[in-house]
Structure 1
Amino acid sequence: MTRVDQWVWAVRLAPSRSQATAGAKAGHIRINGERAKPSQTVKVGDEVRVYNVHEKREHIVIVRELLAKRVGAPIAVLAYDDRTPALPPKPERVLTPFERERGMGRPTKRDRRLLDRLRSGEFD
Protein backbone atom coordinates (compact mmCIF):
# COMPACT_ATOMS: atom_id res chain seq x y z
CA MET A 1 0.00 0.00 0.00
CA THR A 2 1.22 3.47 -0.90
CA ARG A 3 -0.06 6.92 -0.02
CA VAL A 4 -1.95 8.54 -2.89
CA ASP A 5 0.07 11.78 -2.80
CA GLN A 6 3.30 9.78 -2.89
CA TRP A 7 2.08 7.60 -5.79
CA VAL A 8 0.82 10.57 -7.86
CA TRP A 9 4.22 12.23 -7.45
CA ALA A 10 6.13 8.98 -8.15
CA VAL A 11 4.34 8.38 -11.48
CA ARG A 12 4.87 12.01 -12.51
CA LEU A 13 1.26 13.20 -12.47
CA ALA A 14 2.38 15.99 -10.11
CA PRO A 15 5.68 17.90 -10.38
CA SER A 16 6.44 17.74 -6.65
CA ARG A 17 5.29 15.81 -3.61
CA SER A 18 4.12 18.97 -1.89
CA GLN A 19 1.96 19.87 -4.91
CA ALA A 20 0.49 16.37 -4.90
CA THR A 21 -0.35 16.77 -1.21
CA ALA A 22 -1.86 20.22 -1.81
CA GLY A 23 -3.88 18.85 -4.73
CA ALA A 24 -5.30 16.09 -2.56
CA LYS A 25 -6.19 18.57 0.19
CA ALA A 26 -7.92 20.80 -2.39
CA GLY A 27 -9.99 17.87 -3.70
CA HIS A 28 -8.22 17.55 -7.05
CA ILE A 29 -7.41 13.87 -6.51
CA ARG A 30 -10.13 11.21 -6.40
CA ILE A 31 -9.83 7.47 -5.84
CA ASN A 32 -12.69 5.39 -7.27
CA GLY A 33 -14.87 8.51 -7.44
CA GLU A 34 -14.31 9.50 -3.80
CA ARG A 35 -12.35 12.55 -2.72
CA ALA A 36 -8.95 11.41 -1.41
CA LYS A 37 -6.95 12.71 1.52
CA PRO A 38 -3.16 12.85 1.02
CA SER A 39 -2.55 9.91 3.36
CA GLN A 40 -5.19 7.65 1.81
CA THR A 41 -3.72 4.43 0.46
CA VAL A 42 -3.95 3.39 -3.16
CA LYS A 43 -4.08 -0.24 -4.33
CA VAL A 44 -3.58 -1.99 -7.66
CA GLY A 45 -6.78 -1.69 -9.71
CA ASP A 46 -7.92 1.64 -8.22
CA GLU A 47 -9.08 4.38 -10.56
CA VAL A 48 -7.29 7.64 -9.75
CA ARG A 49 -8.48 10.95 -11.18
CA VAL A 50 -6.08 13.88 -10.95
CA TYR A 51 -7.30 17.33 -11.98
CA ASN A 52 -4.50 19.50 -13.39
CA VAL A 53 -5.28 23.16 -12.69
CA HIS A 54 -2.78 24.52 -15.23
CA GLU A 55 -3.96 22.34 -18.13
CA LYS A 56 -7.60 22.59 -17.00
CA ARG A 57 -8.16 18.88 -17.60
CA GLU A 58 -8.51 15.69 -15.63
CA HIS A 59 -6.18 12.71 -15.97
CA ILE A 60 -7.89 9.35 -15.42
CA VAL A 61 -5.55 6.44 -14.66
CA ILE A 62 -5.89 2.87 -13.40
CA VAL A 63 -3.16 1.77 -10.97
CA ARG A 64 -1.13 -1.19 -12.30
CA GLU A 65 1.91 -0.98 -10.02
CA LEU A 66 2.61 0.68 -6.68
CA LEU A 67 5.62 2.99 -6.57
CA ALA A 68 6.92 4.71 -3.46
CA LYS A 69 9.93 6.43 -5.02
CA ARG A 70 9.95 8.71 -8.05
CA VAL A 71 11.11 6.94 -11.19
CA GLY A 72 11.99 7.93 -14.73
CA ALA A 73 9.21 8.73 -17.18
CA PRO A 74 9.51 5.50 -19.24
CA ILE A 75 9.12 3.40 -16.08
CA ALA A 76 6.40 5.64 -14.61
CA VAL A 77 4.18 5.15 -17.68
CA LEU A 78 4.22 1.39 -17.07
CA ALA A 79 2.80 1.85 -13.54
CA TYR A 80 -0.66 2.91 -14.76
CA ASP A 81 -3.18 2.56 -17.59
CA ASP A 82 -4.05 5.97 -18.96
CA ARG A 83 -7.80 6.32 -19.59
CA THR A 84 -7.71 10.07 -20.15
CA PRO A 85 -9.82 11.05 -23.17
CA ALA A 86 -7.87 12.58 -26.03
CA LEU A 87 -8.00 16.32 -26.48
CA PRO A 88 -10.26 17.48 -29.28
CA PRO A 89 -8.37 18.84 -32.29
CA LYS A 90 -7.86 22.58 -32.39
CA PRO A 91 -10.12 24.26 -34.92
CA GLU A 92 -8.28 25.66 -37.91
CA ARG A 93 -8.41 29.41 -38.11
CA VAL A 94 -9.23 31.05 -41.39
CA LEU A 95 -7.40 34.32 -41.87
CA THR A 96 -9.50 37.17 -43.14
CA PRO A 97 -7.82 39.68 -45.43
CA PHE A 98 -7.59 42.13 -42.52
CA GLU A 99 -5.68 39.76 -40.23
CA ARG A 100 -1.96 39.17 -40.38
CA GLU A 101 -0.20 36.01 -39.30
CA ARG A 102 1.52 36.11 -35.93
CA GLY A 103 5.14 37.19 -36.22
CA MET A 104 4.69 39.08 -39.49
CA GLY A 105 5.47 42.40 -37.81
CA ARG A 106 3.98 45.72 -38.80
CA PRO A 107 2.50 46.10 -42.27
CA THR A 108 4.64 47.83 -44.86
CA LYS A 109 3.37 50.89 -46.71
CA ARG A 110 2.42 48.65 -49.64
CA ASP A 111 0.56 46.22 -47.33
CA ARG A 112 -1.27 49.10 -45.69
CA ARG A 113 -2.41 50.46 -49.06
CA LEU A 114 -3.67 47.00 -50.07
CA LEU A 115 -5.57 46.71 -46.79
CA ASP A 116 -7.09 50.16 -47.29
CA ARG A 117 -8.21 49.13 -50.78
CA LEU A 118 -9.76 45.92 -49.45
CA ARG A 119 -11.58 47.78 -46.69
CA SER A 120 -12.96 50.38 -49.05
CA GLY A 121 -14.39 47.65 -51.30
CA GLU A 122 -12.29 48.59 -54.32
CA PHE A 123 -11.67 44.91 -55.14
CA ASP A 124 -15.35 43.87 -54.94
Structure 2
Amino acid sequence: MEFVSITDQEVELYKERFNLELGWYMSVCPMKVIENDKEIALIDCSEGMYGDDSIQIEQFEVFEKKHGWGSKIINQAIQDLSDYRIFVYVNDSNSKAFWIKKGFKPVDDGTGTEIYCYGCN
Protein backbone atom coordinates (compact mmCIF):
# COMPACT_ATOMS: atom_id res chain seq x y z
CA MET A 1 0.00 0.00 0.00
CA GLU A 2 1.31 3.44 -0.94
CA PHE A 3 0.40 6.90 0.34
CA VAL A 4 1.25 9.41 -2.42
CA SER A 5 1.06 13.19 -1.98
CA ILE A 6 -1.20 14.99 -4.45
CA THR A 7 -2.08 18.60 -5.23
CA ASP A 8 -5.34 20.40 -4.50
CA GLN A 9 -6.01 20.35 -8.26
CA GLU A 10 -5.73 16.56 -8.24
CA VAL A 11 -8.10 16.43 -5.26
CA GLU A 12 -10.66 18.30 -7.38
CA LEU A 13 -10.29 15.72 -10.15
CA TYR A 14 -10.84 12.86 -7.69
CA LYS A 15 -13.91 14.63 -6.26
CA GLU A 16 -15.49 14.66 -9.71
CA ARG A 17 -14.26 11.24 -10.82
CA PHE A 18 -15.44 9.37 -7.72
CA ASN A 19 -18.35 11.66 -6.68
CA LEU A 20 -16.83 12.09 -3.23
CA GLU A 21 -19.12 12.94 -0.31
CA LEU A 22 -16.74 15.08 1.76
CA GLY A 23 -16.00 18.68 0.84
CA TRP A 24 -12.22 18.27 0.53
CA TYR A 25 -11.66 22.00 0.93
CA MET A 26 -8.57 23.50 2.54
CA SER A 27 -6.59 20.27 2.43
CA VAL A 28 -3.42 20.25 4.51
CA CYS A 29 -1.47 17.29 3.12
CA PRO A 30 -3.73 15.33 0.76
CA MET A 31 -2.62 11.89 -0.36
CA LYS A 32 -4.06 9.23 -2.60
CA VAL A 33 -3.88 5.66 -1.37
CA ILE A 34 -2.84 3.03 -3.90
CA GLU A 35 -3.10 -0.75 -3.49
CA ASN A 36 -1.89 -3.06 -6.28
CA ASP A 37 -1.81 -0.15 -8.77
CA LYS A 38 -5.42 0.74 -7.95
CA GLU A 39 -6.37 4.11 -6.48
CA ILE A 40 -8.62 3.29 -3.52
CA ALA A 41 -8.92 6.38 -1.30
CA LEU A 42 -7.91 9.91 -0.36
CA ILE A 43 -6.61 10.89 3.06
CA ASP A 44 -5.58 14.29 4.39
CA CYS A 45 -3.50 14.67 7.55
CA SER A 46 -1.85 17.36 9.64
CA GLU A 47 0.85 17.17 12.28
CA GLY A 48 1.31 18.66 15.72
CA MET A 49 -2.12 20.01 16.59
CA TYR A 50 -2.12 18.07 19.89
CA GLY A 51 1.63 17.95 20.49
CA ASP A 52 4.72 16.91 18.58
CA ASP A 53 3.64 13.27 18.74
CA SER A 54 0.23 13.85 17.14
CA ILE A 55 -1.24 13.38 13.69
CA GLN A 56 -4.78 14.44 12.86
CA ILE A 57 -6.73 12.83 10.04
CA GLU A 58 -8.48 15.84 8.55
CA GLN A 59 -10.40 13.98 5.86
CA PHE A 60 -10.57 10.35 4.78
CA GLU A 61 -12.69 8.87 2.03
CA VAL A 62 -12.62 5.47 0.36
CA PHE A 63 -13.74 5.38 -3.28
CA GLU A 64 -15.52 2.00 -3.15
CA LYS A 65 -17.27 1.35 0.16
CA LYS A 66 -17.90 -2.03 1.81
CA HIS A 67 -14.75 -3.72 0.46
CA GLY A 68 -12.65 -3.46 3.62
CA TRP A 69 -10.36 -0.79 2.16
CA GLY A 70 -10.99 1.67 4.99
CA SER A 71 -9.97 -0.83 7.65
CA LYS A 72 -6.90 -1.89 5.71
CA ILE A 73 -5.78 1.73 5.22
CA ILE A 74 -6.26 2.71 8.86
CA ASN A 75 -4.56 -0.46 10.08
CA GLN A 76 -1.57 0.44 7.87
CA ALA A 77 -1.59 4.05 9.13
CA ILE A 78 -1.66 2.85 12.76
CA GLN A 79 1.32 0.59 12.04
CA ASP A 80 3.27 3.26 10.11
CA LEU A 81 2.56 5.94 12.73
CA SER A 82 3.19 3.83 15.84
CA ASP A 83 5.18 6.64 17.49
CA TYR A 84 2.24 9.05 17.15
CA ARG A 85 -1.15 9.58 18.70
CA ILE A 86 -3.71 9.73 15.87
CA PHE A 87 -6.76 12.01 16.13
CA VAL A 88 -9.93 12.24 14.05
CA TYR A 89 -13.22 14.12 14.39
CA VAL A 90 -16.18 11.83 13.74
CA ASN A 91 -19.17 13.19 11.83
CA ASP A 92 -21.83 10.44 12.06
CA SER A 93 -22.76 7.21 13.85
CA ASN A 94 -21.45 4.91 11.09
CA SER A 95 -18.08 6.68 11.17
CA LYS A 96 -18.08 6.56 14.97
CA ALA A 97 -18.56 2.78 14.96
CA PHE A 98 -15.74 2.38 12.43
CA TRP A 99 -13.22 4.40 14.46
CA ILE A 100 -14.16 2.70 17.74
CA LYS A 101 -13.71 -0.69 16.05
CA LYS A 102 -10.19 0.44 15.02
CA GLY A 103 -9.34 1.19 18.68
CA PHE A 104 -9.92 4.95 18.74
CA LYS A 105 -11.33 6.36 21.98
CA PRO A 106 -13.28 9.59 22.56
CA VAL A 107 -11.39 12.40 24.30
CA ASP A 108 -12.02 16.11 24.80
CA ASP A 109 -10.18 18.23 22.22
CA GLY A 110 -9.66 20.98 24.77
CA THR A 111 -12.73 22.96 23.71
CA GLY A 112 -15.38 20.58 25.05
CA THR A 113 -15.75 18.88 21.66
CA GLU A 114 -15.30 15.13 21.28
CA ILE A 115 -12.44 13.91 19.10
CA TYR A 116 -11.38 10.28 18.72
CA CYS A 117 -7.80 9.27 19.48
CA TYR A 118 -5.67 6.20 18.90
CA GLY A 119 -2.79 5.99 21.36
CA CYS A 120 -4.24 8.29 24.02
CA ASN A 121 -4.49 6.97 27.56
TM-score by length of structure 2 reads 0.25
Higher RCO structure, 1 or 2 (CA under 8 Å, sep 6+): 1
Bigger radius of gyration = 1
Greater fraction of residues in strand: 2
